[in-house]
Amino acid sequence: MTLSSSSRRSYVIRTAEGKRDEVDISMIPPERIRNFSIIAHIDHGKSTLADRLLELTGVISKTGKNKQVLDKLKVERERGITVKAQSVSMFYEYKGQQYLMNLIDTPGHVDFSYEVSRSLAACQGTILLVDAAQGIQAQTVANFYLAFGEGLSVIPMLNKVDLPTAEPERAAKQIESAFEIEADCILKISAKTGLGIEQVLPAVIEQTPPPPGSADKPFKALLFDTWYDTYVGVVCLMAIKDGSIRRGDKIVSNHSGTKYEVMEVGVMHPEQTPTTLLRVGQVGYIVCNMKSIAEAHVGDTFYRDRFPVEALPGFVPAKSMVFAGVFPIDAGEFDRLNESIQKLTLNDSSVSVHKETSAALGQGWRLGFLGTLHMDVFRQRLEEEYDTNILITSPTVPYQIKYRDGTSKFIRTPADFPDANIMNDYVESTMEPFVISTLIFPEKYLGSMLELCTTHRGEIQNHTFIDESRVMLKCRLPMAEIVTDFFDKLKSKSQGFASFDYEEAGYDASDLVKMEVLLNGEAVDALAAVMHKSSVVVAGREIASRLKDVIRRQLFDIIIQTTANGKIVARETVKQLRKNVTAKCYGGDITRKMKLLNKQKEGKKRMKRIGKVDLPHEAFLTIVKRAE
């Protein structure tokens, strides 16, 4: 049953002319509030389901043009993926009672699992959405265990049951086998056509418990998301755990002890809509004169001034897993690019930023990302939203060096990696990050997937059949192998049928070396790389060959060498340009020709001794693009 227009109007109060409508939610008790999210593998229909629920509850009109309403970034709409979790509040009438339904739409890609874990902390239930045609995928498994670990009520649903290729019975058996959920409890819907959508919210109300907490206790709230607004500063999205908050109240951050005055409270409906107050169990935004995103620590506990409370558990901070150098293609664009990166990181606090200087590329930044897709999305937003031309170097992972005196150091750039002498005299071990990866694919690709994992230094842990034709493989892999071409090879070898997910598994000892590129004995810092010893020969020969193709010939030989641990791995030579100095000799004694040739030879020697090889910026761009 949907909310009638007359009953919806009872929740909207018209404020002074020119101001936004204000929604009054003070009359809804906590037992009639449901906080829930939608989790699924990428492209299983989360955002489409959210659109149908918004139409069902009258938050948006049924125009037929509603596509990814909650995906507000241009890159999200272009790629058809969710990058940032978004929340929305809906009013729904069920059995004669009005309910406040707070929905959080979450990303589906492994790089943004941090967004998912933050969103689940503000919920009591979650819809586990599975594509009836594709069945369970790797991120489905990962998200289920995230929700299970939070103790949430999981409501399974099969989406896209209207497709000709849909196999709802087989997908239901997979859910029953993998998660021990009875197949009879699974709802079958189609978010695109609206089939079965009217069953979704009643199922959420019946199976999701109301939020815990007491209205009589002092105010306590969990900060689980933030974004930056040009006019009001930082907007904080909070889950109210106890008490209530209204405009004019003073609140304190448990993390920093900083005091703020509340300027506005409200809910997302679907845009920012002010309310009279926020009460226990509700999810809403708070504007409190916070000027910098650095002041807002996600997972922080806020309480009313002079009424301190016990801090909530919070979250483990987002950890950068992939690092890359970002440089302007035109050095004159440095200041504009710096401003663009600062603006973009205001709304993406998971990106770490450190300034870096390269002899070949000039001034730039070393940025840390959650994964390679996160890096690619950040690059696309820089180029499209801020019209910048940038060069991103090959991604690397953070390594750890353990010294014999008991100290350790994290290495984020190849330039920080110790040279061969220090390695031999002072370093006890080198360590690299590992991940536990989950691969799900049809049985006929089992051999190819095992081969792929072992050739990327993977350690097979186990594999199980989730139904008669699909296999789930667990494998321990070095993170460095994943950030290169692993995912492309995975899709190629499985013809696009395999899905992939991973989680951190700590650091382990590994035989790491630093490979450097020398041009006539001079190191090129921008082309240095840290890698496993087994990969050095192949990588060294490849980059030497590519450099030979892009470096222009000069008046002396250019010797290209790749080295590791003080040993030459590969060598190529760009032959010198040679002028025909004997062309003017039409005869005479041979000694005349020899004199001219010896004079040229001496000039070449002097040129090689004092001349320097200039690696053009265009040549470096060519190498990086080919590597990508």
45-62 average pLDDT score: 87
Q: Which residues pair with 41 in a beta bridge?
A: none
- If one compares 398 and 330, the residue with the highest pLDDT of the two is 398
pLDDT of residue 10 exceeding 50: no
Q: How far apart are CA 223 and CA 208, in angstroms?
A: 22
For residues 164 and 18, which has the higher predicted lDDT (pLDDT)?
164
- Amino acid of residue 540: G
pLDDT at 394: 80
Q: State the average pLDDT over residues 436-442.
A: 92
- Which is more confidently placed, 45 or 11? 45
DSSP code at position 275: B
What does DSSP assign to residue 195? B
* pLDDT tens profile 78-104: 666 766 678 889 999 999 999 999 998
Which pLDDT band holds residue 266 (cuts at 50, 70, 90)? very high
The answer to whether 240 and 280 have CB atoms below 8 angstroms apart is yes
Band of the pLDDT at 308, cuts 50, 70, 90? very high
Q: How far is 102 from 94, CA to CA, in rounded Å? A: 15
- Report the pLDDT value the prediction gives residue 6, as an integer from 0 to 100: 33
pLDDT band at 7 (very low <50, low <70, confident <90, very high): very low
Find, among 186, 208, 211, 187, the residue nearest to 199 by Cα.
Answer: 187
Q: Is the pLDDT of residue 555 over 90?
A: no
Cα 249 to Cα 5, 167, 221, 264, 304: the distances in Å are 33, 54, 14, 10, 7
Give the C-alpha separation, 25 to 27, whole Å. Answer: 6
Query: Token pair for residue 262?
Result: 């509340």
The pLDDT of residue 453 is 93
The answer to whether residues 130 and 63 touch, using CB atoms and an 8 Å cutoff, is: no
**What is the biggest distance separating any 2 CA atoms in the chain, rounded to whole angstroms?**
115
Is pLDDT at 627 greater than 70 in this prediction?
A: no
Beta carbons within 10 angstroms of residue 163's beta carbon: 15
Q: Name beta bridge partners: 449.
A: none
What rounded mean pLDDT belongs to the chain?
Answer: 84
Predicted pLDDT of residue 12: 39
Q: Which of 75-84, 234-243, 543-552 has the highest mean pLDDT?
A: 234-243
Tell me which long-range contacts 68-73 makes (C-beta under 8 A, separation of at least 24).
69/270, 70/105, 70/270, 71/47, 71/105, 73/381
Q: What is the pLDDT of residues 487-546, one digit of tens each?
A: 888 888 988 888 888 888 899 999 999 999 898 888 888 788 899 998 899 989 988 988
Q: By percentage, how much of the chain surpasses pLDDT 70?
A: 87
Per-residue pLDDT band at 614 (split at 50, 70, 90): low
37 three-class SS: strand
Query: Rounded to two decimals, what is the model's pTM?
Result: 0.76
What pLDDT score was predicted for residue 424? 85
> Rounded to whole angstroms, what are the CA distances from 297 to 83, 115, 227, 232, 255?
20, 14, 12, 18, 8
Burial (Cβ within 10 Å: 0-12, 13-18, ≥19) of residue 397: buried
What does the alpha-carbon distance between residue 380 and residue 374 come to, in Å, rounded to a whole number? 10
Residue 182 to residue 195: CA distance in whole angstroms: 22
- Give percent of the chain above pLDDT 90: 36
Measured from the Cβ of residue 211, the count of other Cβ atoms closer than 10 Å reads 21
The Cα 134–Cα 174 span in angstroms is 11
Residues with Cβ < 8 Å from 496, sequence gap 6 or more?
Answer: none
